[in-house]
Structure formats: C-alpha cells, structure tokens
Amino acid sequence: MISLQPIEIAYLTAIIFALVMLALAWYTRSIKGK
C-alpha cells in the first residue's frame, strides 16, 4: 500500500475538486448553448 501524507491527500482532493468543477461548468455551458 502507498502511504499518503495529509498534504498529498489535500493536494489530490484539490485537483479532483477543480476537475469536477470544470466538468460541471463545461456541462452546464454545453446544455445552455443548445
């Protein structure tokens, strides 16, 4: 198993959160555009 440090967990969480927000923004924009 790979032991993650708290800072690494926070870093990965921030990246995943940013990707999710970008995906939601693109998704809503594509729907409103049609």
In tens, the pLDDT along 17-29 reads 999 999 999 999 9
| pLDDT value of position 34 | 66
Mean pLDDT of the chain: 92
Domain boundaries of the chain, sorted by first residue: 1-34
Does the pTM surpass 0.95? The reply is no
5 pLDDT band, cuts 50/70/90, is very high
CA distances from 15 to 2, 11, 25, 30 (A): 19, 6, 15, 22
| pLDDT > 90? residue 12 | yes
Geometric angle at alpha carbon 22, from 7 and 30, rounded to 5°: 170
Distance CA 1, CA 3 (A): 6
Token duo for residue 34? 């049609």
Query: 29 is written with which tokens?
Result: 């924009």
Return the pLDDT at 33: 77
